[in-house]
Amino acid sequence: MTHRPNQVAHKDAVLKVAAIQQVCSADKNISLATSEAKIRAASQQGAKLVVLQELHATLYFCQTEDVSVFDLAETIPGPTTDRIASLAKELDIVVVCSIFEKRATGIYHNTAVVIESDGSIAGTYRKMHIPDDPGFYEKFYFTPGDAEKNDGSSGFEPINTSVGRLGVLVCWDQWYPEAARLMALAGADLLIYPTAIGWDINDDAAEQARQLDAWITVQRGHSIANNVPVIAPNRVGLEADPSGQSDGIKFWGNSFITGPQGEILAKASADNEDVLVADIDRHRSEDIRRIWPYFRDRRIDAYSAITKRYID
């Protein structure tokens, strides 16, 4: 049986989106100035939704465990969200930014903030899956997001905006099909993954290639399995290990945007900053779901074991 998607163009339903890939600085003002310049560049190219990478205002501080780093955390709203909000309002665009959030004394989160085009905060997503691996000691800094929010909604709840319902997740979340599926089942029009991932520069080229391919493939898989576009901006550049115990992390860039069949619409390099722009047809997901009805054929009566840690 041959599946042929509807090829009718929906010219009135095209959403231009952008993913920002940048080098970060120890000086928050320098990093934010870079973010702002690239947001402006994306807007000049017509983007109405701009997505920044994970923790774009700072260096990736999780290479070590250092209590002084908590001084970098901010409230929401706070200085960074106010600054991004002002720009979003000026440019009349929706922006997804990334904040090291101070929720309360001793409770900090890795939080994506969605800024509406009028400068208001449309919603937040607190990273749910927190890694703890050499060079990525995030459990020291970040409390996982709440599985259920105070309003009774799920931790995997799309955020309503003027450009659609955004299924915002963060970095390590991108390896979990459950998170993508729950966002899609809740009505996400897009999956968004602000990211900070890179290589151990001592790994050989073959291992680096395998890791990069796995990162791209798993997210394309979420796009395919849920029939939704994916926006995945990643940071770029070599960041030293502050402790000097390792050679640091070379963030591998390769930010990309897919359509709802996992097709690559735009992809950045491994080494350079970039403003990645692509057109997304907002009717395309429905066209694809009519011929690839994954949601219809799900055997929800047979999946109860998925909530177990392991099936002995």
pLDDT digits (tens, 9 = 90+) for 156-180: 999 999 999 999 999 999 999 999 9
**Cα dihedral sign, 206-210-212-216:** positive
Per-residue pLDDT tens digits for 134-158: 999 999 999 999 988 777 778 899 9
> Which pLDDT score, from 0 to 100, does residue 25 have?
95
Which one of the listed residues 16, 38, 54, 62 is annotated catalytic? Answer: 54
Name the percent of the chain lying above pLDDT 70. 96
Omega before residue 233 within 30° of 0, cis: no
> Which pLDDT score, from 0 to 100, does residue 8 have?
40
> Which pLDDT score, from 0 to 100, does residue 150 have?
74
The span from the CA of 293 to the CA of 3, in Å, is 12
- The residue written with tokens 């922006």 in the block is 95
Which one of the listed residues 24, 62, 97, 171 is annotated catalytic? Answer: 171
In this predicted structure, the answer to whether residue 194 has a pLDDT above a threshold of 90 is: yes
> Which pLDDT score, from 0 to 100, does residue 84 have?
98
> Which pLDDT score, from 0 to 100, does residue 11 have?
45
The arithmetic mean of pLDDT across residues 263-280, rounded, is: 97
Per-residue pLDDT tens digits for 199-217: 998 899 999 999 999 999 9
Which one of the listed residues 16, 102, 127, 250 is annotated catalytic? Answer: 127
Q: How much is the pTM?
A: 0.94
In this predicted structure, the answer to whether residue 5 has a pLDDT above a threshold of 70 is: no
> Which pLDDT score, from 0 to 100, does residue 211 have?
97
Reply yes or no on whether 171 is catalytic. yes
Confidence of residue 12 (pLDDT cuts 50, 70, 90): low
> Which pLDDT score, from 0 to 100, does residue 245 have?
86
* CATH number assigned to the domain covering 14-304: 3.60.110.10
Reply yes or no on whether 89 is catalytic. no
The arithmetic mean of pLDDT across residues 60-65, rounded, is: 96
Query: Which range, of 7-21, 118-132, 164-178, averages the lowest pLDDT?
Result: 7-21
Reply yes or no on whether 116 is catalytic. no
What ranges do the domains of the chain cover?
Answer: 14-304
> Which pLDDT score, from 0 to 100, does residue 153 have?
74
